[in-house]
Amino acid sequence: MDIINITLWWETAAFPLLTIMTLVPLITMVAVLSSPSQAIASRIGFIGSILTVLLSIYLLLVFDKTKPGIQLYEQVQNIIFTYTVGVDGTSILFIPLTAILTFLALIYTLTTRRASDRIHIASLLGYEAILIGAFVAMNALQFWFWCLLELIPVVIITIRAGSGQNRRWVVALLLQHWISGLFMVLVGFLMLGFGIMGTGDTLTFDWLALKQSDSSLEYATLIFFLLFFGFAIRMPLFPFHGWLPVLAEQGTVASVGILLVGLKLGIYAAIRFLLPILPEVAERWAWLALIFGLLGIFYGALLALMQINIRRLLAFAVISQTGILVIGIFDFNTYGLEGSILLSIAFGLATAGMLLSIGMIYKRTHTAMIPRLGGMFDANASIAVLFVICALSTMVMPGTPGFDGIHLLIEGTIKEYGWLVSIAILMGNVLAAALLLRAFQLIFIGTPQRFQGPFLNPSKPSTLPSPRNERIIAAIICSLLIGIGFHTSPWLRVIDQSITSSTNNELYSTLYNTQQHDNKAVLINKDN
Q: How far is CA 155 from CA 123, 279, 471, in A?
A: 10, 35, 30
Q: How confident is the model at residue 132 (pLDDT cuts 50, 70, 90)?
A: very high
Q: How far apart are CA 337 and CA 202, in angstroms?
A: 31
489 found inside a domain: yes
Instruction: Give the ranges where 441-524 is alpha helix by DSSP (H).
Output: 467-486, 489-496, 499-502
Q: What angle do CA 9, 11, 13 make, to 5 degrees?
A: 60
Please provide the DSSP assignment of 338-386 as one string. Answer: HHHHHHHHHHHHHHHHHHHHHHHHHHHHS--BGGG---HHHH-HHHHHH
Q: How confident is the model at residue 520 (pLDDT cuts 50, 70, 90)?
A: very low
Give percent above pLDDT 90 in the chain.
Answer: 15
**What pLDDT is recorded for position 477?**
87
CB 377 within 8 A of CB 478: no
Q: How far apart are CA 12 and CA 175, in angstroms?
A: 40
More confident residue, 67 or 182: 182
Pairing of strands 82-87, 70-77: antiparallel
Worst-scoring range by mean pLDDT, 63-67, 403-407, 515-519? 515-519
Q: How far apart are CA 497 and CA 63, in angstroms?
A: 10
Domain total of the chain: 1
Asked whether residue 511 carries a pLDDT value surpassing 60, the answer given is no
More confident residue, 456 or 208: 208
Worst-scoring range by mean pLDDT, 258-272, 364-378, 422-436? 364-378
pLDDT tens digits along 449-499: 554 444 444 434 445 556 777 788 888 888 888 888 888 888 888 888 776
CB atoms within 10 A of CB 454: 17
**What pLDDT is recorded for position 363?**
76
Q: How confident is the model at residue 516 (pLDDT cuts 50, 70, 90)?
A: very low
User: Sign of dihedral through CA atoms 152, 157, 158, 160?
Assistant: positive
Backbone angles phi, psi at 78, to 5 degrees: -140, 165
94 found inside a domain: no
Q: How confident is the model at residue 528 (pLDDT cuts 50, 70, 90)?
A: very low
CB 171 within 8 A of CB 155: yes
CB 234 within 8 A of CB 269: yes
CB 486 within 8 A of CB 470: no
Asked whether residue 333 carries a pLDDT value surpassing 90, the answer given is no
pLDDT tens digits along 60-95: 999 988 888 888 998 888 766 788 999 988 889 899
CB 429 within 8 A of CB 392: no
**What pLDDT is recorded for position 75?**
86
Q: Is 8 helix (H, G, I), strand (E, B) or coil?
A: strand
Q: How far apart are CA 249 and CA 167, in angstroms?
A: 10
154 found inside a domain: no
What letter represents residue 157's amino acid?
I
| Helix (H), strand (E) counts: the chain | 23, 5
- The pLDDT of 129-152, averaged and rounded, is 91
Q: How far apart are CA 153 and CA 161, in angstroms?
A: 11
What letter represents residue 175's amino acid?
L
What residue numbers bound the domain in which 424 lies?
A: 332-528
Q: How far apart are CA 190 and CA 108, in angstroms?
A: 41
**What pLDDT is recorded for position 256?**
62
How confident is the prediction for the chain on average, in pLDDT?
A: 80
**What pLDDT is recorded for position 455?**
43
**Both ends of the chain: CA-CA distance in Å?**
18
Q: How far apart are CA 526 and CA 295, in angstroms?
A: 27
What letter represents residue 213's amino acid?
S
Using only the alpha carbons of the chain, give its radius of gyration.
Answer: 22
471 found inside a domain: yes
- The pLDDT of 119-132, averaged and rounded, is 89
Q: How confident is the model at residue 432 (pLDDT cuts 50, 70, 90)?
A: confident
497 found inside a domain: yes
**What pLDDT is recorded for position 143?**
93
Give Cα 374 distance to the centre of its chain: 30
Give the helix/strand (H/E) hosting 84.
strand 82-87
pLDDT tens digits along 188-200: 999 888 877 765 5
Worst-scoring range by mean pLDDT, 27-31, 179-183, 212-216? 212-216
CB 384 within 8 A of CB 354: no
**What pLDDT is recorded for position 215?**
56
Give Cα 252 distance to the centre of its chain: 17
Q: How confident is the model at residue 522 (pLDDT cuts 50, 70, 90)?
A: very low
Q: How far apart are CA 108 and CA 185, in angstroms?
A: 34
352 found inside a domain: yes
pTM assigned to the model? 0.85
**What pLDDT is recorded for position 253?**
64
**What pLDDT is recorded for position 525?**
34
483 found inside a domain: yes
336 found inside a domain: yes
pLDDT tens digits along 155-165: 888 887 766 66
Worst-scoring range by mean pLDDT, 201-205, 207-211, 300-304? 201-205
